[in-house]
Structure 1
Amino acid sequence: MTVDEGAEAPVSRARLRALRAVRHSLKVPPVPRDFRADIEGMRAIAVLGVLLWHAGVTVVPGGFVGVDVFFVVSGFLMTALLLEEARERGRIDLGRFYARRARRLLPAALAALVGTAVLTLLFLPRTRWWDTGIDLLTAASYVVNWRMSSGATDYLDVSRAPSPVQHYWSLAVEEQFYVVWPVLLLGLLVLARGRARVFRVTSWTLTLALLAASLAVSHWWTQTYAAQAYFVTPTRVHELMIGAVVALGARGWPTIPRLLSAVLGWLGLVMIMASLFAIDQHTPFPGTAALWPTVGTALVLISGARAGLWGPEFILRARWMQWVGRISYSLYLWHWPFVAAAASILAVGSGGPVSLPVQWGLVAVLVSVLPAWLSFRYVEEPVRVRGRVLQARVGPGVATYRALRLGASCSLAGALLGLTLMSVAPPRVDGEAVAWRTPALVDDLRQPVGAGTLADAPAPGGGSGTEEQLAAAPERMPDTLGELAVPVEQVPADRPVLTPEGCFPGLTESKVGVCEAGDPDGPVTIALFGDSHAAMWVTALDEIGRERGWRVVTVAKSSCPPVDELSFSRGQAPQGYEQCTAYQEKVLDRLVELDPDVVVMSSASYGASDEAVAEALARRVDQLRAAGIEPVLLRDVPRPPFDVPECLVANEDRATRCVFDRSEGLTRSGTGHALLAELRPDLPVVDLTKAICPAEECDPVVGGVVVWRDSNHVSATYVRSLRGLVEQQLLPVVALTQLRTGP
C-alpha cells in the first residue's frame, strides 16, 4: 500500500504534546525558572532574624518579621511553579504539585518533630508532656496555628510556657495555602478554556481580591486582639498573595529600566532590614505593619529579574548567606525546640529566671545548627534529589503516588508521635471533674487539708480558723511533698466551674455574662465582680451560699478589672484592650439589674500604674454605693514568680526551691488594691494573705494541697479549704446590709 503524497504524515504523541504546549503557552506569562541567589540570601536574613529574636537578642526586636519574608517568597515560588506548569501542560496536576510539596517539606518536618519529642522527654517537666503531645499531633496535621490562636484567647493559660513546636504555626499557614491556592488557579484555567485574556484578568482579579480582603481582616483582627491574629491564616493570606502578584507580573518586571530596578531592590532590602530593627513586640502585628517586610521582599524579588549585580544581589549572594539560605528550612525547624529545652533546664518561669538569658539563647541556637545541617544533609536534600531520580526511572505517575504516600506516612508518623507522648504523660483529668470533687477532697477525703491545717481548730465547714489562729507559726513544707490531695500533674485542671457554659466572657468578647452558684432562691445575693482572680473564689462562695441561703452570681470577664473608665494595653495590643473598655461601659447597668446585697471586687495585676487603677476602682466603688450596693474589696493574693505546678514537678525532691518571698509576691499581685484601701478607708477589705502565705516565705503546698494552679490563680481545692475564713469575714458585711434593708 502506497501513501498518497498529499496525505499528512501521522503526528507522533510527542509532537502532539509539543503542539498542545505551544497552544497553552498563550494562557499564562512565562516565569523565569533560573536559580535566584537573591532569594537564598533573603531566606538567610529571614531565618537569622527569627533565630536572634528567639534567642532574646534585643538588638533585633523585630526578628519575627523573618516569617513574613518567608511567606512572600513562598507565595512567589508556589505561584510561579503553578503558572509554569499551566503554561507547559495546559493544566495543573494537583497530585504532582502536592507530591513535590510532600517531598520538600514533610520528611524534614518529621525529623524535627522526632527531635522535639526526645528533647521534651529529656528536659521538659512531666506536666507539659500531654500538651506537647497534642501540639505534636496538630503540628503533624498542620493545624497547629489554630491551636496556638485558641491558646492565645485563654486567659488561664497565658502564663504557661510556650510549646516547643509553636514555630510550626507558620508551616501550618503555608500548608493550608498550598491546599487551597492550586485548586483556585486550576478553576480559573478551566473557566478560561484556553483564552489568555480571561485567565489573565481572572487570576489578577482573584489575587488582588484575596490580598485586599486578607489585609483588611488582618488590620481589623490585629486591632481587636493581636495575640490571636498573629497565628490565624486569614490574617496572613495577603502576604502570600503579595508573592503571587510578583509571579503574575513576571512578564513585566524585566522591562523595568535597570537603574530603576536596582533602586527598587535596594529600597526593598532597606525595608526588610528596617523592619528587623524598628518593629517590636509592642507593634500591632501583623496588620498594616506587616507591609514593611512583605512589600520590601516583593521589591527585591522584582528587582532580581532585571537589576542583576546592580541591585542588592551582590550582597545577598555572599557564600555564607547562600549556605544559611540553603539550610534555612531545617534551621527554622530545629532551633526553637533547643531554645525551649534551654528554658526548661534553667527553670525559666518555674523558679529560675523570668526569661531565658541571652547567652543561653544563643548557645541553644548555635547547638541547633548541627542537627539542622544533619537533617538537611541526610533527610531534606536526599529526599528531594531522589524524587527527581525516581521520576526519571519509573515515570511521573508512579513517582507522584510514592511521594504522596511518603507525605501521608510522615504526617501519620508525626501524629502517632504526639499520641505516644500523650500516652506516657501523667494521667489527665477533666477540669470539671477536679472542680466538682473539690468539696469531697476537703471535707471527706482527708480532713483537715489546705488552709484547714493552719488553725488550731477548724472553722465551720472544715475551713480555716481565725486570723489569730492563722498567726501561729505554721509547719513548713518539707523537701519531699508526699501524698497530695490533688496530684501535682493534675493541679492545672484544679479550677472552678462557672455555669452556665459561656457565662465567663473571654478576651475577645465584651458581653456581660452572669454565672450562677450558691442557693438560686436565696434571699441574699452576693456578686463576685472583676476578672478571673475574682471568679476563682466562687468555689468557696458556692458552698457558703448553699448553707447560708445566699444566691451567688459571678460577673467577671477574662483579664478585665472591675474599674470605671480605664484603658490599658494587654499582651500584643498596645493600642488598648478594647473589649475590656466596652465591657466596663456596660457592666454597671447589669449589676444594678441583679440588685446584689454585696459586691465582692477583686482583680489581678495590670500594666497600668497603681494610682490609675486605684482611682478607677474607687470610682466604681462610688458608683456601686450610689446604687445602694455594698462593695467589698477582696485583696489579691501573693503572686508567684513562676508556674507553681511546673516548679514542683521539676523539683520533686527539692520542693523548697519553689518557695518565694511573700512581700515580693504582694508587689506582683492586684494592681492598686493597697492604694484603694487608703483612698476609701471605709471600704471593707477581705485580706486572705496570711491564709495563703502564713510565713514570710510562701510555701507552694499547704496542708497537702498545692496552693496555686499556675503562676497566679489559687487552686479550687485550696480556695475550698478557705471557705470558713471567707465566710467569717463576709458575715459582718452581709449582716450590716440586712440591718439596713430590714423592716
Structure 2
Amino acid sequence: MLSGFLIGSQLLEPVSRGETPSLRRFYLRRALRILPSFLVVLGLYLFVPAWTEMPVVTPAWRFLTFTQNFGLRRNGFSHAWSLCVEEHFYLVLPLTVLALRGRLRAPSLIAIAAAVMGGGMLLRGGLWQHHFSALGPGDPGWREFDRLLYYPTYARLDGLTCGVLLAALRVFRPQAWERWTRGARAGAMAIVGLACLGGVLFINEEHYRYLPYVLLAFPLAALGFSALLVSLAGPAASRVCARIPGVKTFAVLSFTIYLTHKAVQHGVRDALAPQGMDAFHVVTVLGGAVAVLLAALALHHGVERPALKWRERLERGLTSRKPQAQPAAP
C-alpha cells in the first residue's frame, strides 16, 4: 500500500500539472535506488555459502528477471519475492498512467480499483476452490498454498491499488486530503484502520487458509493500512512520529534492512546456539537486531548512498537536456 501511494504520487503529480511523466527519469530513479544493493546481496547469496540462511535453490536468472515469486518454494533469499511484486508494479503503473491520463474521472478510477480488488478476490477464491477445498487440516497439499496464493503478484494487487487511490486523492483533491488527515476525521480513520487489521488477525487466527481468509484478508489489510496512512499523514501526527528517536534512520535503512535481515539474524542464531541461547533468547533477539542494523548501515553507506548520489548527477543531466515544457491547453 505504501509503495502504491509513494510511486503513484511520483507519477501523478506531473499529470496534475499538465505534464507527461518521464519514463526515462522514473526508471533511472528506480533502477539506481534498488539494483545496486540488491545485486550486492544477491551476489553474497550466490557466491558466499556462509552468508545464506538456507541453501539457494532458485536459479539466478529468476532473481535477475524478478520472476522468483511465481512457483516459489522457500529457500535462500526467498524473501526477495516481494521485490518482484514491486518491479512488476513499476513496469505496469507508468504505462497505465500514460495511457489513461486525461481520460479518467474519479468515478471511473474508483470503479477500476474496485474491479481490480474484486477480480483478485474471485481469482484467489477460484484457485482455492480448485486446489484446496477438499483438503483436510493436516493434508500435505497445503504446502502449495503459499506458492499459489501468497507469493504471486496477482495475490498482491489490493494494497497497491489502495495506495494508488490515496495518491490520486492527495494529488487531484488536495482539499479533501487535508480534511481527512486532520482532526476528528483522522482519528476516525485510525479506528477504521485498526478495526480492519483486527479483522485480519481474527480471520487468520480462526480460519487460516480457509476461504474467508483467502477472500477477505488481503483487501482488509489493504484498507486497514490505507486508513492508518490517512490518519498519520496530517501535520500533527507527522510531527509526533518525527520526534520518535531512530525513526528517520530506520526509514533511510528500510531497504537495506529488508535485504540483509534474514541472513544476518540466522548468523547470529548460529553463533549463539552453542552457548545455549535459542532464537527467542533476549541476547539472541537484541544481538540480531544490532547486527542487522550494522549490516544495513554498511550496505547503505557502501553501496546505496553512492548509487543515490550518482542518480542525482544523472538526473541533473536529464533535466538540463529537457526541452522547455509547453503550457497546458485550457
Q: TM-score range by the shorter chain?
A: 0.7 to 0.9
Matched, 1:288 2:288: no
1:147 CA displacement: 3.5
Q: Which whole-Å CA distance do the structure 2 matches of 1:89 and 1:116 have between them?
A: 45
Matched, 1:214 2:136: no
Matched, 1:367 2:291: yes
1:237 CA displacement: 0.7
Asked whether the 8 Å contact 1:304–1:313 carries over to 2, the reply is no
1:503-542 map, 5 Å: none
Q: Match for residue 143 of structure 1?
A: 67
User: Per the alignment, do residues 120 and 345 of structure 1 end up closer, same or farther by CA in structure 2, a change over 3 Å counting?
Assistant: farther
373-382 or 338-347: bigger deviation: 338-347
1:366 CA displacement: 3.3
> What secondary structure is seen at the aligned counterpart in 1 of 2:20?
coil
Deviations 1:581-602 (A, max 9, x none): xxxxxxxxxxxxxxxxxxxxxx
Asked whether the 8 Å contact 1:330–1:372 carries over to 2, the reply is yes
User: Per the alignment, do residues 211 and 123 of structure 1 end up closer, same or farther by CA in structure 2, a change over 3 Å counting?
Assistant: closer
Q: Which whole-Å CA distance do the structure 2 matches of 1:327 and 1:275 have between them?
A: 31
With structure 1 as the length reference, what TM-score do the two structures score?
A: 0.36
1:112 CA displacement: 2.0
Asked whether the 8 Å contact 1:327–1:373 carries over to 2, the reply is yes
Q: Which whole-Å CA distance do the structure 1 matches of 2:295 and 2:50 have between them?
A: 18
Q: Which whole-Å CA distance do the structure 1 matches of 2:52 and 2:119 have between them?
A: 43
Asked whether the 8 Å contact 2:116–2:161 carries over to 1, the reply is yes
Return the index of the structure with the highest Cα Rg: 1
Quick one: which of 273, 280, 284 aligns to 1:358? 280
User: Per the alignment, do residues 357 and 303 of structure 1 end up closer, same or farther by CA in structure 2, a change over 3 Å counting?
Assistant: closer
Q: Which whole-Å CA distance do the structure 1 matches of 2:196 and 2:300 have between them?
A: 26
> What secondary structure is seen at the aligned counterpart in 2 of 1:120?
coil
Asked whether the 8 Å contact 1:138–1:144 carries over to 2, the reply is yes
Quick one: which of 22, 32, 39 aligns to 1:93? 22
User: Per the alignment, do residues 326 and 227 of structure 1 end up closer, same or farther by CA in structure 2, a change over 3 Å counting?
Assistant: same
Q: Which whole-Å CA distance do the structure 1 matches of 2:124 and 2:118 have between them?
A: 10
Asked whether the 8 Å contact 1:242–1:295 carries over to 2, the reply is yes
User: Per the alignment, do residues 263 and 281 of structure 1 end up closer, same or farther by CA in structure 2, a change over 3 Å counting?
Assistant: same
Q: Match for residue 251 of structure 2?
A: 325
> What secondary structure is seen at the aligned counterpart in 2 of 1:234?
helix
> What secondary structure is seen at the aligned counterpart in 2 of 1:358?
coil
Asked whether the 8 Å contact 1:164–1:336 carries over to 2, the reply is no
1:319 CA displacement: 2.7
User: Per the alignment, do residues 236 and 221 of structure 1 end up closer, same or farther by CA in structure 2, a change over 3 Å counting?
Assistant: farther
Asked whether the 8 Å contact 1:173–1:233 carries over to 2, the reply is yes
1:118 CA displacement: 5.1
Question: Aligned Cα RMSD in Å?
Answer: 3.5
User: Per the alignment, do residues 292 and 372 of structure 1 end up closer, same or farther by CA in structure 2, a change over 3 Å counting?
Assistant: same
1:367 CA displacement: 1.6
Q: Which amino acid aligns with 1:178?
A: Y
User: Per the alignment, do residues 319 and 257 of structure 1 end up closer, same or farther by CA in structure 2, a change over 3 Å counting?
Assistant: closer
Matched, 1:308 2:220: no
1:375 CA displacement: 1.5
Q: Match for residue 719 of structure 1?
A: none
User: Per the alignment, do residues 398 and 341 of structure 1 end up closer, same or farther by CA in structure 2, a change over 3 Å counting?
Assistant: farther
1:271 CA displacement: 4.8
Asked whether the 8 Å contact 2:181–2:231 carries over to 1, the reply is no
> What secondary structure is seen at the aligned counterpart in 2 of 1:395?
helix
> What secondary structure is seen at the aligned counterpart in 2 of 1:368?
helix
Q: Mind listing any 5+ residue stretches in structure 2 that lack a counterpart?
A: 133-141, 323-330
Q: Which whole-Å CA distance do the structure 2 matches of 1:290 and 1:376 have between them?
A: 32
Q: Which amino acid aligns with 2:314?
A: L
1:377 CA displacement: 2.4
- Between Structure 1 and Structure 2, the one with more strand by share is 1
1:382 CA displacement: 3.0
Q: Which whole-Å CA distance do the structure 2 matches of 1:201 and 1:100 have between them?
A: 31
Q: Which whole-Å CA distance do the structure 2 matches of 1:272 and 1:320 have between them?
A: 28
1:90 CA displacement: 2.7
Q: Which whole-Å CA distance do the structure 1 matches of 2:3 and 2:34 have between them?
A: 12
Q: Which whole-Å CA distance do the structure 2 matches of 1:147 and 1:108 have between them?
A: 25
1:361 CA displacement: 5.9
1:264 CA displacement: 3.1
Deviations 1:269-308 (A, max 9, x none): 6358758976569733564123443222211222345x43
1:222 CA displacement: 5.3
Matched, 1:76 2:2: no
Q: Match for residue 239 of structure 1?
A: 159
Q: Match for residue 185 of structure 1?
A: 97
Tell me which stretches of 4 or more aligned residues in structure 1 moved more than 6 Å: 343-347
1:578-597 map, 5 Å: none
1:317 CA displacement: 4.8
User: Per the alignment, do residues 186 and 167 of structure 1 end up closer, same or farther by CA in structure 2, a change over 3 Å counting?
Assistant: same
Asked whether the 8 Å contact 1:222–1:230 carries over to 2, the reply is no
Quick one: which of 204, 227, 232 aligns to 2:146? 227
Asked whether the 8 Å contact 1:82–1:92 carries over to 2, the reply is yes
Q: Which whole-Å CA distance do the structure 1 matches of 2:269 and 2:75 have between them?
A: 11
Asked whether the 8 Å contact 2:36–2:304 carries over to 1, the reply is yes
Q: Which whole-Å CA distance do the structure 1 matches of 2:270 and 2:123 have between them?
A: 36
1:334 CA displacement: 0.5
1:173 CA displacement: 0.7
Q: Which whole-Å CA distance do the structure 1 matches of 2:110 and 2:127 have between them?
A: 25
1:231 CA displacement: 0.4
> What secondary structure is seen at the aligned counterpart in 1 of 2:49?
helix
Q: Which whole-Å CA distance do the structure 2 matches of 1:391 and 1:290 have between them?
A: 37
Matched, 1:103 2:25: no
Q: Which whole-Å CA distance do the structure 2 matches of 1:346 and 1:275 have between them?
A: 38
257-266 or 208-217: bigger deviation: 257-266
Q: Which amino acid aligns with 1:165?
A: F
1:232 CA displacement: 0.8
Q: Which whole-Å CA distance do the structure 2 matches of 1:220 and 1:259 have between them?
A: 42
Deviations 1:399-441 (A, max 9, x none): 9xxxxxxxxxxxxxxxxxxxxxxxxxxxxxxxxxxxxxxxxxx
- Between Structure 1 and Structure 2, the one with more helix by share is 2
202-211 or 168-177: bigger deviation: 202-211
Asked whether the 8 Å contact 1:123–1:345 carries over to 2, the reply is no
